[in-house]
């Protein structure tokens, strides 16, 4: 199955997490992410665990998967989604 990278979208990410649709969530740098919640207080309500070589690390983001709230700023820890390529027949 071919996967394509999409910008993080909280609604779609929740569907990936609960198994409604196929896919997975990673950081821009390619690290696996396990989402824990999307309702923490503050500017970074999305909480997840990034799986690093030396162990897991808790991580917070905006609901758009960004670790920096400044416009047009991206970081290696921003979240992206990998979803099946729709042209491959799976959604």
| Tokens at 64, concatenated | 């758009």
The answer as to whether 17 is a domain residue is yes
Domain carrying residue 10: 3-85
Q: Give pTM, 2 decimals.
A: 0.86
The rounded radius of gyration (Å) of the Cα atoms in the chain is: 13
Q: How far apart are CA 91 and CA 82, in angstroms?
A: 11
Which pLDDT score, from 0 to 100, does residue 71 have? 86
The answer as to whether 91 is a domain residue is no
| Total domains present in the chain | 1
The answer as to whether 90 is a domain residue is no
The answer as to whether 75 is a domain residue is yes
Summarize pLDDT for 2-47 with one digit per residue, the tens: 999 999 999 999 999 999 999 999 999 999 999 999 999 999 999 9
Buried b (16+ CB within 10 A) or exposed e, 39-62: eeeeebebebebeeeeeeeebebb
Residue 53, pLDDT > 70, answer: yes
């Amino acid at each position: 199955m071919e996967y394509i990278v999409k910008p993080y979208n909280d609604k779609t990410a929740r569907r990936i997490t609960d198994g409604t649709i196929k896919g997975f969530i990673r950081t821009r740098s390619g690290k696996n992410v396990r989402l824990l919640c999307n309702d923490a207080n503050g500017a970074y309500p999305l909480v997840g665990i990034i799986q690093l070589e030396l162990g897991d690390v808790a991580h917070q983001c905006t609901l758009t998967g960004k670790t920096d709230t400044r416009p047009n700023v991206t970081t290696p820890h921003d979240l992206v989604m990998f979803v099946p390529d729709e042209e491959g027949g799976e959604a």
